[in-house]
Structure 1
Amino acid sequence: MARPKILVVGAGFAGVECVRRLERRLAPGEADVCLVTPFSYQLYLPLLPQVASGMLTPQSIAVSLRRSRRHRTRIVPGGAIGVDTKAKVCVIRKITGEEVDEHYDYLVLAPGSVTRTFDIPGLAEHARGMKTLAEAAYVRDHVIAQLDLADASEDPAERASRLQFVVVGGGYAGTETAACLQRLTSNAAKRYPRLDPREIKWHLIDIAPRLMPELGEKLGLSALKILRDRGIDISLGVSVAKAAPEEVTFTDGRVVPSRTLIWTAGVVASPLIATLDAETLKGRLAVTAQMTVPGRDGVFALGDAAAVPDLTKDDEGAVCPPTAQHAMRQGRRVADNVIATLREQPLQPYVHKDLGLVVDLGGRDAVSKPLGIELRGMPAQAVARGYHWSALRTNVAKARVMTNWLLNAVAGDDFVRTGFQSRTPAALRDFEYTDSYLTPEEVREHTRAAHFQG
């Protein structure tokens, strides 16, 4: 008899931890494992703002999936664009553009999330995200290019628009991005004698009334003070009304001359979830405490794309937040439950009490809340970087990150553009390909056509 096939979609924290656990715990020949991902690395997403600011190199947070000695998983280089759970087929578009079908016996959905956008005029064409390694590298080149072009310009209006930067989103991603990039431009200004540092302005805006509300009021206010002391203009209860190539209009009526709009206003589950035509909860796939999808045989879902019940909370409807610490642990639990299903053993629910939050604001600034303990300054910085460093999956990645941190502390920032900046500006829609997914009807038609051809 053919071995059962386990198909894992997504190589984020959840998917990679699931695959690693399967490789360790499955007996040789017990099942085949296949992983669908456009890139053969796991991206350590929380450190992406430090790549954008140049503190870390892109390679240091892109952890290769092929370094494991136990590596026996077949990697399909592409993205899942549709799932037919009745036919047990996943439609995959490879990086060449070719569409292929992968049949499965057990499906683990960990496709993660994409940047949440709204129907704001000009947003898709002119905003840049902070969700992928390519975006972080591109944003760094773009920001440094603005300094170079402003330094060379004799037009005051052009200089003003190139030296003002807007970040939307007061969560962790937006706050850390604004903090790290403002620090970069502040240090860079010393190398541009024709630029007045006071001309460089950073704006951080969010529609919410508080900055990083998950941290609590006191730490949120501490972070707010740190950023304002650095000169970052923070506006809460404000969003973008319109984006144009050389200016951004806020909902409070202000028009800011700017050629840099960085959009980090939250995430939503991958559009792949909609192709299942299954029940969702606030856009995330509804699953049981064992992370099975009700009514879908052999399908598990976890991470950012799934509403996993949080059994540590008294609230019956509470779900786990889309954070790395939950995704990693969910990945291991799903792997155990897939193996238990294979061996006809009982499945176990996912239970994990949140360990807290860390926010690195660059330099010596940070705010952290490990195990409910509020920390600021260097102690918070030590906890934040210690947590990130320990969470990196390989010793090679740990060595690279630590070396980068030490080099930056000793030698400071560099301001070299690496060549990602092209003549045609790239924006949100050019990186995440959110319009490439099939509808449930298209998936069913695709599998029917494939069946008749077979």
Structure 2
Amino acid sequence: MIRNRPRIVVVGAGFAGHQAAKTLSRQLRDNAEIVLLNPTDYFLYLPLLPQVAAGILEPRRVTVSLPGTLPRVRLVLGEADRVDLAARRVHYTGPEDDKGELEYDRLVLAVGSVNKLLPVPGVAEHAHGFRGLPEALYLRDHVTRQIELAAATGDPDERAARCTFVVVGAGYTGTEVAAQGQMFTDALVRKQRAWRHAGHKPRWLLLDIAPRVLPELDRRLSRTADTVLRGRGVDVRTGTSVKEATHEGVLLDDGEFVDTRTVVWCVGVRPDPLVSEVGLPVERGRLLVEPTLNVPGHPEVFACGDAAAVPDLTRPGEFTPMTAQHAARQGKLAGRNVAASLGYGEQQRYKHNDLGFVVDLGGVKAAANPLGVPLSGPVAGAVTRGYHLAAMPGNRIRVAADWLLDAVLPRQAVQLGLVRSWSVPLDTASPELARVPGGRGRAEQSEPGG
């Protein structure tokens, strides 16, 4: 088949991939065929995922339609299995296990990241991650179920174990999950008669080997988050890690055994395993690229977001961190530079100074430092929600409406039972997809990484 237009294949539709495809469609319009390969037909706004798990937002609020926001981009549903650099082809598996391949003239690798695993016995079997919508839906059902089962039992030890929730990792995700989770379970027990004389309340533990929560952020944001969490009753333990996980609970490195039925693994992320399988130089699993986001020796290949080790021109000798802020901006630049490589514009180097960070702590509480100005309390909460609404590529009115309803109405507490425990394994290269019976995807092929 002869193509009269160059074909650009973008692999992945996270912050980087979505921005790359959007920029390319605007820059090139009908002068190139733009193909987006992604396992789902939506862009997932990851920062609001803890609010889905806590029952504040409905799942579709954080999913933005790819066909709806990228009208000049052809969407191909599938998971990339292999990149053949010599033949310029991407091999993939479709949603019904059908095999396919895409030829390309330009390739943008933006496959993102997956749960980071550590060699801790029992974690892969008894913990669950928090990188995709299926995991958030599972956690919402699981937490609700544990509270209901705890209310129904007459055994105080079983009740204590079921209403103890352990979050491992006090970075962005872990901190927000613990903050939102404590408020969610407190709201659930208020509806349970059996809890009126139980003598205790749900207990959330937030563990991290680092000396403080949010160790990657400014200490003032860390102090704000720590104060809010402890004030809410969260048991924050820094300098502490998990030594072993079992069905009955977790053994901490200080020798304490915590009885629990819930372990949420938020220790960080690692690049998608596909990146290391491409056969090009990597830095801690991330593809080494030039400041223009081009892969050295392959002028037709670009990489951005969590898949790429991008030189940080603001901090010589370092690489940009794996954050949504960098991924979105790198995706936009990748789109511009791919267009430039086809004769539309000039290539530029990636350089970005952080504009600040926001951490939603539930209710009206948050920690934020826009443009370096530290904020806390309701002001930080307003800035945080304003930032999320501005950053989302769609669904803004629906998200704002859900926030308003949550402020004036009690949360709905029911189990839908749509995602089972075995459907969301921790060791998976595809957190955006729930495992199905008999399914054979990259979830079964991936290896634990550190």
Given the alignment of the two structures, is residue 45 of structure 1 paired with residue 46 of structure 2, yes or no? yes
- CA distance in 2: counterparts of 1:98 and 1:372, whole angstroms: 49
TM-score (norm 1): 0.92
Q: Is the 8 A contact 2:364 2:382 kept in 1?
A: no
- In structure 2, distance between residues paired with 1:309 and 1:81: 27
Superposition pairs of residues 150-189 of structure 1, within 5 angstroms: 150-189=150-189
Task: Assess if the C-alpha contact under 8 Å between 2:186 and 2:201 holds in 1.
Answer: no
1:268-287 equivalences in 2 (<5 Å)? 268-287=270-289
Partners of 2:29 and 2:419 lie apart in 1 by: 48
- The alignment yields a C-alpha RMSD, in angstroms, of 1.8
User: Partner residue of 2:408?
Assistant: 410
Structure 2 residue 68 is matched with structure 1 residue 67: yes
Write the mapping of 1:112-261 to structure 2, written as runs, cut at 5 A: 112-195=112-195, 196=198, 198-261=200-263
Counterpart CA distance in 1 for 2:241 and 2:124 is: 15
The offset of 1:282, in angstroms, is: 2.3
AA matched with 1:408: D
Partner deviation per Cα, 1:369-410 (whole Å, 9 max, x = no partner): 11100000011101100000111112xx00110000000001
In structure 2, the partner of 1:446 is none
Q: Which amino acid aligns with 2:35?
A: C
Any idea what the Cα deviations from partners look like across 1:163-190, whole Å, max 9, x if unmatched? 1100001101000001001110011111
- The 3-state SS of whatever aligns with 1:371 is helix
Q: Distance in 1 between matches of 2:235 and 2:245?
A: 18
Displacement after TM superposition at 1:434 (Å): 5.2
Once residues 336 and 78 of structure 1 are traced to their aligned partners in structure 2, the CA distance between those partners, rounded to angstroms, is: 25
**Secondary structure class of the residue paired with 1:214:** coil
Whether the 8 Å CA contact 1:247–1:255 is kept in 2: the answer is yes
Q: 1:82·1:437 contact (CA, 8 Å) conserved in 2?
A: no
Counterpart of 2:99 in structure 1 is: 99
Equivalent residue pairs, number = 433
Shift of 1:425: 7.2
How far apart are the structure 2 equivalents of 1:27 and 1:223? 45
- How far the C-alpha of 1:202 sits from its partner, in A, is 0.6
Q: CA deviation at 1:426?
A: 4.3
Structure 1 unaligned regions, length at least 5: 440-454
What is the distance in 1 between the residues matched to 2:224 and 2:354?
22
Take 2:241 and 2:248, find their aligned partners in 1: how far apart are those partners?
17
TM-score, length of structure 2 as denominator length: 0.92
Instruction: After superposing the two structures, state which structure 1 stretch, 407-416 or 368-377, moved more.
Output: 407-416
CA deviation after TM superposition for structure 1 residue 27, in Å: 4.0
- Aligned-residue offset at 1:133: 0.6
Tell me how far apart the structure 2 counterparts of residues 262 and 437 of structure 1 sit (CA, whole Å).
Answer: 22
How many angstroms apart in 2 are the aligned matches of 1:200 and 1:345?
57
Aligned-partner Cα distance in 2 for 1:197–1:319? 50
Identity of aligned residues (%): 44
Structure 1 residue ranges, 4+ long, deviating more than 6 angstroms after superposition: none
Q: Deviations over 1:260-280 (max 9, x none)?
A: 000010001110101112111
Task: String of CA shifts for 1:419-438, please: whole Å, max 9, x gaps.
Answer: 22548674313663654569
Which of the numbers 398, 401, 422 marks the counterpart of 1:400?
Answer: 398
Distance 1:421 1:150 in 2: 21
Mapped partners of 2:359, 2:407: distance in 1: 18
Tell whether the 8 Å contact from 1:80 to 1:92 is kept in structure 2 after alignment: yes
5+ residue gaps, structure 2: 432-440
Write the distance in 1 (CA, Å) between the matches of 2:349 and 2:423.
46
Q: 1:372 to 1:151 in 2, by over 3 A?
A: same
What displacement does 1:225 show?
1.5
In the alignment, the residues of structure 1 paired with residue 400 and residue 223 of structure 2 have an alpha-carbon distance, to the nearest angstrom, of 30
Q: Out of 110-119 and 417-426, give the one that drifted further.
A: 417-426
**8 A contact 1:271–1:434 mirrored in 2:** no
